[in-house]
A = this chain, B = another copy of it.
Amino acid sequence: MIRKVVKDAETAVTGLKDNMTLMLGGFGLCGIPENSIAAIRETGVKGLTCISNNAGVDDFGLGLLLQTQQIKKMISSYVGENDLFEKLMLSGELEVELIPQGTLAERCRAAGAGIPAFYTPAGYGTEVALGKEVRWFKGKPHILEHAFEADFAFVKAWKGDEAGNLIFKGTARNFNPMMAMAGKITVAEVEELVPAGELDPNFIHTPGIFVQRIFEGKAYEKRIEQRTVRQAG
């Protein structure tokens, strides 16, 4: 069994440099690598390109790296809920590339799976298709999309073991497994880190081979963006 454990988030971000490309898991604020984001902020690295479905909110998630202007470019599918984001984007301080969500997911998977490019129908006939090869398959137009590249991937799981195996919970899984596959260095933070052998090998979501560093995160806030409830009973 290959040990991947590092002692904390600070150690986990070792090697992070200016102008690198990062993937960060999560959908909205659900399943985001909270501890890693804090550690990235602490490093002060600048000029980051961040591939992440969303960009956090003003004071949480990737919003924390927008505050410090460490992000040069966001590659996302939806960047709604963030005033600072809008301000930086409109002022030209932040570059933004918007990508269909399924294409974003598949480009991450492709990166991890050694598939350099694939065809998808998503975005044909829209501005997303500008400059891209179009090819028809079975009477339907598709566009060619390429695998991403990422120097680091930061993912957050529910449980993990010393061998780097990960288990996610509920819809906090989202982009984390594909990004774990895609990072040159993948850092996983987990709510609970257990010895190898404690997780059932039949129910591993991300096999340890995709994870280079793992640590148990602290003080998860797990903020909820849209708390919506019904009356009990």
Contacts and interface: CB of A to CB of B under 8 A. Distances in A.
Nearest to A115: B118
Interface in A130-148: 135, 137-138, 140, 142, 146
A146 B106 CA distance: 16
Contacts of A119: 115-118
A126 interface: no
B121 A118 contact: no
Q: How large is the interface on A (under 10, 10 to 19, 20 to 34, 35 or more residues)?
A: 20 to 34
A197 interface: no
A124 B121 CA distance: 26
A114 interface: yes
A95 to B, nearest CB: 23
A184 to B, nearest CB: 14
A89 B118 CA distance: 34
A169 interface: yes
A170 interface: yes
Contacts of A169: 202
A27 B169 CA distance: 30
A123 to B, nearest CB: 13
Q: Which of A117, A119, A168 has the most CB of B within 10 A?
A: A119
